[in-house]
Amino acid sequence: MINVTNEMLIDVVSDALTGKRESLLMRLRVMAKKLKKESPELANKLESLLLHTSGAVAIERAQPLIPKAAPVDADSRQKLLVETYPVVIDVEPVWPSKTDVQLNRFVIEWEMKERLYKEGLHPSRSLLMGGPPGVGKTLAAKWLACKLDMPLLTLDLASVMSSYLGKTGNNIKAVLNYASSFPCVLLLDEFDAIAKKRDDATDVGELKRLVTVLLQAIDEWPNTSVLIAATNHSELLDPAAWRRFDRVIDFDYPTKDLIKRYLMSKNIGDDLAEYISARLDKVSYAVIERAINQAKRNSIIENSPLSSSLIDELLEDESIENVIRTMLAEDVSQRKISRDLGIPRTQVSKFVKAEGEGNE
């Protein structure tokens, strides 16, 4: 059975009739890919037509097309978006179970969109993510784009804000029109920079009108793309913004158990990960990641154990000796302490001997 659905055919016809050329080409590439296994001859003919139609030198058969005419700032000619495809996630993210369920359910909706369409529904098109910096909001957007196999377009709203609000409005409108014209995931980072409360006394009329335009764009977002907004300051958002999104997910600092799992995913021994996580509170993944990278650099430069450098980076007033002492008190074997901390077993033995002599 050829793996091209009725919904795909309807989308292709719709793009053709409404003149959405870039979206049409992308869909035809996807269709050719799906036909490849069961009808290679037909897939090759379709790809050949695409090659001549687009005037391209070659076709990247496994990739959907990102339109080349990405919006740019009228004055600087700089691109307004960062475009990424394919999106690659090296390590499976670690989230609280509730957040993990919400994100996976979002993906499942898109995987089962045809069933939803038959019932007069559609998958969630928009997602608002709030929480402190560094807790995984941007990573979640990347993860969703990876799972949905869509290009990720990232716009840092704070970076496009200008004293000329009319210019800012034009730039944002251009981005929204572009991202809604073909299947993709659009991430609006620092969303609070623009979607502030419209009763803010410091705002001017142009900014308030811009908020209205943005909210209207969320309402009218097409079923073919995903719009994600991320904010570190949910309390600053216009109340109307909350109601516009299909889904809202709150991110928080990782729990001690999640920190331990995260450290272990970075090849930190379980006992050391347990020791460090038990002593951290309200620390983001971003801070931990920076500490691990700095500890690796220090370890190489100083020719010292990674464990010692990591403790120095993450824990104040702690030392490798305190870690050994705690592990021994918890009946961890000298062999395992040596392995987890990356230090010679003789060093652990000397410490045990010195501790014993000191207690006599």
Share of the chain above pLDDT 90, in %: 34
10 pLDDT more than 60 = yes
82-250 maps to which CATH number? 3.40.50.300
Decide which of 33 and 336 is more confident.
336
Cα Rg of the chain, angstroms: 26
202 pLDDT more than 60 = no
Location of structure tokens 């158990």: 257
118 pLDDT more than 80 = yes
Tell me the average pLDDT across 213-233.
91
pLDDT for the residue numbered 63: 45
Residue-wise pLDDT tens digits, 292-346? 999 999 999 998 888 888 988 998 777 788 888 888 888 888 888 888 888 888 8
Residue-wise pLDDT tens digits, 343-352? 888 888 888 8
- Cα(339)–Cα(342) distance, integer angstroms: 5
Spell out the alpha helix ranges (H) of the chain.
Answer: 6-18, 21-35, 40-54, 97-111, 113-118, 137-148, 157-160, 165-179, 205-219, 239-244, 256-265, 270-277, 285-302, 306-314, 320-329, 334-341, 345-358
Tell me the average pLDDT across 41-64.
58
91 pLDDT more than 70 = yes
Q: How confident is the model at residue 360 (pLDDT cuts 50, 70, 90)?
A: very low
Report domain extents, the chain.
6-54, 82-250, 256-358
215 pLDDT more than 50 = yes
Tell me the average pLDDT across 271-283.
90
pLDDT for the residue numbered 57: 32
Tell me the average pLDDT across 84-111.
91
Residue 128: phi, psi to the nearest 5? -105, 125
pLDDT for the residue numbered 324: 86
- Cα(221)–Cα(124) distance, integer angstroms: 10
356 pLDDT more than 80 = no
pLDDT for the residue numbered 254: 93
Tell me the average pLDDT across 249-260.
94
pLDDT for the residue numbered 204: 59
pLDDT for the residue numbered 162: 60
Q: Which two tokens stand for residue 212?
A: 């209205």
Query: CB within 8 A of 92, min separation 6: which ones?
Result: 265
Share of the chain above pLDDT 70, in %: 85
Contact yes or no for 140/248 (Cβ under 8 A)? no
